[in-house]
A and B are shown apart, each in its own frame.
Chain A
């Protein structure tokens, strides 16, 4: 069920009508949440529920077994990780693996080819698998007491606002919140409303308006348009994916706030980042912190010397690329980011540049351009298309933005929205959001007006509806 669908609006209205009544007692609250979340998830395809149940039960029982047989904790942890990574490997990566194996066999002259199983990819599998793994790993590390109530566990794992596209909420953060009937105060409801409205604006107005333009540009077999055209397209894609994904996160956080719960911030204006490290501290925070805590640090982090630190970071970035999709383009995206981070660690160039006058702004622009370049491979349909677009971006002999390019693909609405989102990032980067004006009575009074206008914008400026990009991950 998509957040931007009539079905979801009806579902949410029914759910929140029942929530104040069924929220009071623990068991009824958990059962209500699990039932609603399974209905929400099963709306796509009821068979998806089997996989989440499989993944969830493995971790639920593994965590209980770790407490019951502490001497065999490691074995249960390995079983849990194998179960989770195994289901990811089968449903998400098997076709990719088989395709590459066939290619390799063909390359070495073998004529037989293994048929690809073409399994359906369950929506949001990467999100809930990682969320589920964090539970068993935290129990293994002794940082979390496992819950004995299966509904409590599944209320955490399958909670519908964040189930299919994050944020990836840690068990240590959400399970304790679910143990109590969190009062949904007027203030929380207002904060939730703000988040939901901002989220919908980002998704249905910005991302959905820009999306068809980017799709149309990438649907061209040969990117013949000018360099400036492709820079405009890549800027648009940067804001499409940001607004699509952070919009989903905002809606998820807002819905949780309406229930009385708190999900952490997942995006913190990443295009204002002044270093790649800073970017990863602002982009998909729940995933980058997951990789940091459950992969990078266990691998040794940067404690064992510079070269091992680089190696660990490259491993994490390659896996992060692969997490986003089973394709070489995503791996390439991970490699580009690992390269950026390595160069940054070795030279510390952002810090040096920031110390110069006007350097902070220059850093932000450079980081944004570097991120744009990496997005080429993230968005490209194939490795060769990514290479062709990249070549076109740097074909400075052909920079003129021709009228035919503009007329055939770009629209005034999409351009204006992109400029608006860029202006918003600049506003945040310059720190205007923290100025005293923002706390003044006028600014406080203006917020409901802004929310009201954004609701109107969501209705009248909405683009053609589309699924959230991150569902495919």
Chain B
């Protein structure tokens, strides 16, 4: 009888223990989901508009859909707003086809042309030039190549999962500091990913010299190197070909801060005068802007308001030019 009771007690204990363990596992995982979703929803998100992954997939998939294609690197996709340009070029389909670190390689130039619509009455390519976009390094490694090489499946997966991954993004040290000090030492990098390819951006607080340090090393021979004659010549040759096909080509140097201009003049070995001469001989139209007349948020990229102002002025200049 005692043995039976003892076995019953033991079995009852094991059952209770098993049930308690199951409950613990359930509690742990349910709590993780609830706290995770609550935290992810509560934390401040500096990114708005489209999700970045979907944005880049969309851009790399653009084919034959624009009258005006804007080209260049991050200074171009952050610095030129097609929406602001449309105020002055109202009937035109304008897209910003800029990519991170994009260099004017053959692949990128072909990609630009592919974005122009067959049925367009006035085809325009606008090249936002930076010294870095004319280097060998930028031609070899850049955001355009990264995205264009992705398989359709990969792009599909990125579009589907990127919003989830973005929701689950890790807390960076700066964000942690902001949370721990109730926002007193918080820093923000606001970025709005727009459907026309522009990324409207600004930072709080701003650091006007932030981009100078990485740029001071980017033109080293082991990295992107200085401006390459081969890249420049290929670009000029392509401009001439585009002109031959009736495409209007505009070029301009993207505005930035004075320190950056000095740094680029010293390290990138970019002879702007010679470049402009070749560009115009090839049939392109060079547009001059006040290089330091627009506000940058990090010493390189235009603040969203400056970008809108600059884009309006760019569109006005294009409108003012009689098609050749």
Interface of A is mostly: helix
Q: Type the 1/0 row for B7-37, where 1 means its CB is closer than 8 Å to any CB of A.
A: 0000000000111011111011111100110
Do A463 and B17 touch (CB < 8 A)? Answer: no
* Docked CA distance A15–B171 (Å): 31
Do B18 and A456 touch (CB < 8 A)? Answer: no
What residue in chain B is nearest A452 (Cβ atoms)? Answer: B31
* Docked CA distance A333–B18 (Å): 47
A411-B173, A413-B173, A461-B171 as given contacts; A449 in contact with B36, CB under 8 Å: no
B148 at the interface (CB under 8 A from A): no
Do B28 and A462 touch (CB < 8 A)? Answer: no
A222 at the interface (CB under 8 A from B): no
What residue in chain B is nearest A416 (Cβ atoms)? Answer: B176
Nearest-neighbour CB distance to chain A for B174, whole angstroms, equals 8
Do A186 and B36 touch (CB < 8 A)? Answer: no
A78 at the interface (CB under 8 A from B): no
Do B27 and A187 touch (CB < 8 A)? Answer: no
B177 at the interface (CB under 8 A from A): yes
Do B173 and A189 touch (CB < 8 A)? Answer: no
* Docked CA distance A197–B31 (Å): 14
Q: Type the 1/0 row for A397-434, where 1 means its CB is closer than 8 Å to any CB of B.
A: 00000000000000111101000000000000000000
B39 at the interface (CB under 8 A from A): yes
Question: Which residues on the B side are within 8 Å of A413 (C-beta)?
Answer: 171-173, 176
Instruction: Give chain A interface residues in 440-463, CB to chain B under 8 Å.
Output: 447-449, 451-453, 455-456, 459-463
* Docked CA distance A462–B23 (Å): 27
Nearest-neighbour CB distance to chain B for A189, whole angstroms, equals 7
A187-B18, A447-B24, A448-B24 as given contacts; A456 in contact with B36, CB under 8 Å: yes
A193 at the interface (CB under 8 A from B): yes
What residue in chain B is nearest A192 (Cβ atoms)? Answer: B25
B180 at the interface (CB under 8 A from A): yes
Q: Type the 1/0 row for A190-229, where 1 means its CB is closer than 8 Å to any CB of B.
A: 1001000100000000000000000000000000000000
* Docked CA distance A190–B25 (Å): 6
Instruction: Give chain B interface residues in 177-203, CB to chain A under 8 Å.
Output: 177, 180
* Docked CA distance A449–B18 (Å): 18
A185 at the interface (CB under 8 A from B): yes
Nearest-neighbour CB distance to chain A for B4, whole angstroms, equals 23
Do B32 and A456 touch (CB < 8 A)? Answer: yes
* Docked CA distance A448–B171 (Å): 23
Do A460 and B36 touch (CB < 8 A)? Answer: yes
B168 at the interface (CB under 8 A from A): yes
* Docked CA distance A46–B32 (Å): 37
Do B173 and A412 touch (CB < 8 A)? Answer: yes
* Docked CA distance A403–B77 (Å): 35
Nearest-neighbour CB distance to chain B for A35, whole angstroms, equals 27
Do B36 and A459 touch (CB < 8 A)? Answer: yes
Q: Type the 1/0 row for B267-308, where 1 means its CB is closer than 8 Å to any CB of A.
A: 000000000000000000000000000000000000000000
What residue in chain B is nearest A197 (Cβ atoms)? Answer: B28
What residue in chain B is nearest A413 (Cβ atoms)? Answer: B173
A187-B18, A189-B21 as given contacts; A456 in contact with B170, CB under 8 Å: no
Do A193 and B176 touch (CB < 8 A)? Answer: no
Do A455 and B32 touch (CB < 8 A)? Answer: yes
A413-B173, A459-B168, A460-B36 as given contacts; A452 in contact with B30, CB under 8 Å: yes
Question: Which residues on the B side are within 8 Å of A416 (C-beta)?
Answer: 176
Q: Type the 1/0 row for A239-254, where 1 means its CB is closer than 8 Å to any CB of B.
A: 0000000000000000
What residue in chain B is nearest A415 (Cβ atoms)? Answer: B173
Contact for A189 among B19, B25, B172, CB less than 8 A:
B25
Do B31 and A461 touch (CB < 8 A)? Answer: no
Question: Which residues on the B side are within 8 Å of A187 (C-beta)?
Answer: 17-18, 21
Question: Which residues on the A side are within 8 Å of B22 (C-beta)?
Answer: 186, 190
* Docked CA distance A201–B259 (Å): 44
Nearest-neighbour CB distance to chain B for A384, whole angstroms, equals 23
A448-B24, A448-B28, A455-B28 as given contacts; A460 in contact with B19, CB under 8 Å: no
Question: Which residues on the B side are within 8 Å of A462 (C-beta)?
Answer: 170
Do B31 and A448 touch (CB < 8 A)? Answer: yes
Interface centre among B18, B21, B29, B32 (most CB of A within 10 A): B32
A412-B176, A448-B25, A448-B27 as given contacts; A460 in contact with B17, CB under 8 Å: no
Do A460 and B21 touch (CB < 8 A)? Answer: no
Do A186 and B177 touch (CB < 8 A)? Answer: no
A187-B18, A190-B21, A448-B25 as given contacts; A453 in contact with B35, CB under 8 Å: yes
Do B18 and A460 touch (CB < 8 A)? Answer: no
Question: Which residues on the A side are within 8 Å of B177 (C-beta)?
Answer: 412
Contact for B27 among A452, A459, A463, CB less than 8 A:
A452
Question: Which residues on the B side are within 8 Å of A461 (C-beta)?
Answer: 170-171
* Docked CA distance A197–B40 (Å): 20
Nearest-neighbour CB distance to chain B for A199, whole angstroms, equals 15
Instruction: Give chain A interface residues in 163-193, CB to chain B under 8 Å.
Output: 185-187, 189-190, 193
Question: Which residues on the A side are within 8 Å of B173 (C-beta)?
Answer: 411-414
Q: Type the 1/0 row for B300-322, where 1 means its CB is closer than 8 Å to any CB of A.
A: 00000000000000000000000
* Docked CA distance A187–B25 (Å): 10
Do B180 and A456 touch (CB < 8 A)? Answer: no
* Docked CA distance A414–B174 (Å): 12
* Docked CA distance A463–B25 (Å): 25
Do B170 and A460 touch (CB < 8 A)? Answer: yes
A460-B170, A461-B171, A462-B170 as given contacts; A186 in contact with B28, CB under 8 Å: no
Do A452 and B17 touch (CB < 8 A)? Answer: no
Contact for B29 among A186, A447, A455, CB less than 8 A:
A455
Interface centre among B21, B22, B40 (most CB of A within 10 A): B21
Nearest-neighbour CB distance to chain A for B68, whole angstroms, equals 39
Nearest-neighbour CB distance to chain B for A18, whole angstroms, equals 20
Nearest-neighbour CB distance to chain B for A444, whole angstroms, equals 9
Instruction: Give chain B interface residues in 37-89, CB to chain A under 8 Å.
Output: 39-40
Nearest-neighbour CB distance to chain A for B202, whole angstroms, equals 22
* Docked CA distance A186–B177 (Å): 40
Question: Which residues on the A side are within 8 Å of B31 (C-beta)?
Answer: 448-449, 452-453
What residue in chain B is nearest A450 (Cβ atoms)? Answer: B28
Question: Which residues on the B side are within 8 Å of A448 (C-beta)?
Answer: 23-25, 27-28, 31
Question: Which residues on the A side are within 8 Å of B172 (C-beta)?
Answer: 413
Q: Type the 1/0 row for B232-250, where 1 means its CB is closer than 8 Å to any CB of A.
A: 0000000000000000000
CB pairs A–B below 8 angstroms (21 shown): A186-B17, A186-B19, A186-B21, A187-B21, A413-B173, A448-B24, A449-B28, A451-B28, A451-B32, A452-B28, A452-B30, A453-B31, A455-B29, A456-B32, A456-B35, A456-B39, A459-B36, A460-B40, A460-B171, A461-B171, A463-B170
Minimum-distance CB pairs A-B, first 3: A452-B31, A455-B32, A411-B173
Residue ranges of A at the interface with B (Cβ–Cβ < 8 Å): 185-187, 189-190, 193, 197, 411-414, 416, 447-449, 451-453, 455-456, 459-463
In the complex, besides A186-B17, A448-B23, 20 extra interface pairs with C-beta distance below 8 angstroms are A185-B18, A186-B18, A187-B17, A187-B18, A189-B25, A193-B25, A411-B173, A412-B173, A412-B176, A413-B171, A413-B173, A414-B173, A448-B27, A448-B28, A448-B31, A451-B28, A452-B27, A460-B40, A460-B171, A461-B170
